[in-house]
A and B are shown apart, each in its own frame.
Chain A
Amino acid sequence: MMNSESPAGAEVGTALDVNRLRKDFPALRRMVNGHPLVYFDNTAATLKPQSVIDSISRVYSDYPANVHRGIHMLSEEATNAYEEARVKVARFLNAREPDEIVYTLNTTDSINHIAGSWGEANIGPGDEVLVTDMEHHANFVPWQQLCMRKGAKFQVAHVLSSGQLDREDFDSKLNERTKLVACAHVSNVSAVVNPIRELAEQAHRVGAIFVADCAQSVPHMPVDLQALGADFIACSAYKFLAPFGVGILWGRRELLDSMPPYRTGGNMIAEVSREHTRFNVAPHKFEAGTPSIADVIGMGAAIDYLEQWGMQAIYEHEVELSRYMHERLADMPGVRVIGDWFPGKPAIASFHLDYAHPHDVAQFLNEEGVAVRSGLHCAEPLHCALGLSSSTRASLYLYNTHDEIDRMIAAIKTVEEIFA
């Protein structure tokens, strides 16, 4: 299936100096059950480099003031750093302008903004919303619930046994009643990469808008919003080295301008009287109340860190790790990976062992210091469609190595010895 070449010792073969960058992540120094930590749960949340931790610490030490309020110096410093992060995000994703970037809490929150604002205003009885079976619940449940509230039809495009989107089924469910299409850029289970540009063009031809869930693409590959073709994207910053508490909603400026606020109150207004409130402009009208300021600023530091290494180099390193991981897994009897391998597959492998339940597998891997996830990975419809009750998932990032994959494989062999 793939080239067979087993690197050993120091991490070699990619443009990233992984041995050096690993020193930037304090959590990698941890021992788990007597073994150095192997962190393979990056799809859920990544580790944080010291520069991000320091940037949060600086906010709380030096300028722990609120944003957009004070004339005083600390508030001005906080506001500048907070808005500077927006410029960084816009540049990182090649948005047309920083004002298209809305800070949220996470991907779920971003998608709820779209459903609760654009969806509430534009979806009605008889309309249709089309999603796919490979969505994370974050890009599934808000649309299902919106359709239930509005008397709209919730359509779900199927996946093939290869894990890929069933394009015929997708085409058959897309029609002139479809008002919105929501689809993952990269599946958080099978790592299938959907052709967002093509799908968005199809959606636009029937007059629908297109929402791309980029939670698993933005952290792992270069994403150019002006080339992607979507109308909205959502992602979570803590999945790309940033602190918890921050997500991103990007929308085309004209769409954001046309939308009502999702939450109202402080910070999002231009003028308030007893009779009337005039809202601020986007993105501020969507950022009601005091945001998670230090975490937004920490996200700016995370982007600086990623750009220092380069997203293309990170992507290439992960694709090489993915190739090696899938090759090793393919050599093991009784191991079935969800979805077929394909060239350029991101470094996510969700698998099932014929002889052991995923929770037992994760328990024994933890015993060897290997952190993986087990369960449904917030993607129950996909597991259901593929006839699986749950799976074990290994998901890698820029700091992971071939040696760590070898350690996971050795740990799976322990499970095999005990169970098989």
Chain B
Amino acid sequence: MDLKALYREVILDHYKAPRNTTPLVQPDRQADCRNPSCGDKIKLQLKFDNDRVSEVAMLGNGCAISQASASMMTEALKGKTFAEIDRVVEEFRAMIVNGSTEFDRQVLGDLVILEGVAKLHARVKCAMCGWSALDAALHGDGSDVNLDEDREMPASSRG
């Protein structure tokens, strides 16, 4: 994998100018995810209109991969239902966390460009930060997610 190309072609664009960063007024769902070991932090907010995402916002800071992955995610959410979002999360997780090549490219669309991150094991948590916030916003009990405590993530320590 060409790391420079991955950063230059995709990641830096979203890192320097992340999409959908205006905080929502009275979001229907929201959740926070942190990677304390990295210092990544993302708040994800959603508004629904007739079961479909009408507005989305990501607010946070951290490394380029965490912010770019979350930014690209927000672009993929608009107009989708709960079930459709779950499908995207599932396929994205298969691609990044499991390193599978069997994921559904059509469901992921532009997000497949992040496939190379799966090979950067130490960065998988970075790429998943926004996605875990999304998962918690849809299915969680309102509490924050700490990805350092997620046993499905590659082993790491905050030192």
Contact = CB atoms under 8 A, between A and B. Distances in A.
- Do these two chains really belong together in a complex? yes
Interface of A: 137, 356-360, 363-364, 367, 375-380, 389-390, 414, 418-419
B3 A367 contact: yes
Give the secondary structure class of A's interface.
Answer: helix
Contacts of B38: 359, 375, 390
B96 interface: no
Ranked nearest first, the 9 interchain pairs of A and B with the lowest CB-CB distance are: A357-B63, A378-B159, A389-B39, A359-B63, A390-B39, A360-B64, A367-B3, A360-B63, A376-B159
Given A375-B37, A390-B39, A418 B159 contact: no
Given A360-B64, A375-B39, 9 more contacts: A357-B39, A359-B122, A360-B65, A364-B3, A376-B39, A376-B158, A378-B159, A380-B158, A418-B12
Contacts of B39: 357, 375-376, 389-390
A359, A364, A367, A377, most chain B CB atoms within 10 A: A359
B4 A418 contact: yes
Contacts of A379: 159
B159 A377 contact: yes
Interface of B: 3-4, 7-8, 12, 37-39, 61-65, 120, 122-123, 126, 158-159
Contacts of A389: 39, 61
A363 B159 contact: no
A376 B158 CA distance: 7
Contacts of B3: 363-364, 367
Contacts of A360: 7, 63-65
Nearest to A361: B63
B6 to A, nearest CB: 10
B123 A363 contact: yes
A356 B12 CA distance: 10
Nearest to B37: A375
B4 A375 contact: no
Contact of A137 (B12, B61, B159): B159
Contacts of A390: 38-39
Contact of B158 (A359, A375, A418): A375
Nearest to A417: B4
Nearest to B35: A359
Contacts of B37: 375-376
Contacts of A367: 3-4
13 contacts: A358-B63, A359-B38, A375-B37, A375-B158, A376-B158, A377-B159, A378-B159, A379-B159, A380-B158, A380-B159, A418-B4, A418-B7, A418-B8
B123 A359 contact: yes
Nearest to B38: A359
A358 B61 CA distance: 13
A418 B2 CA distance: 13
A296 B50 CA distance: 68
A238 to B, nearest CB: 16
B60 to A, nearest CB: 12
A285 to B, nearest CB: 31
A255 to B, nearest CB: 30
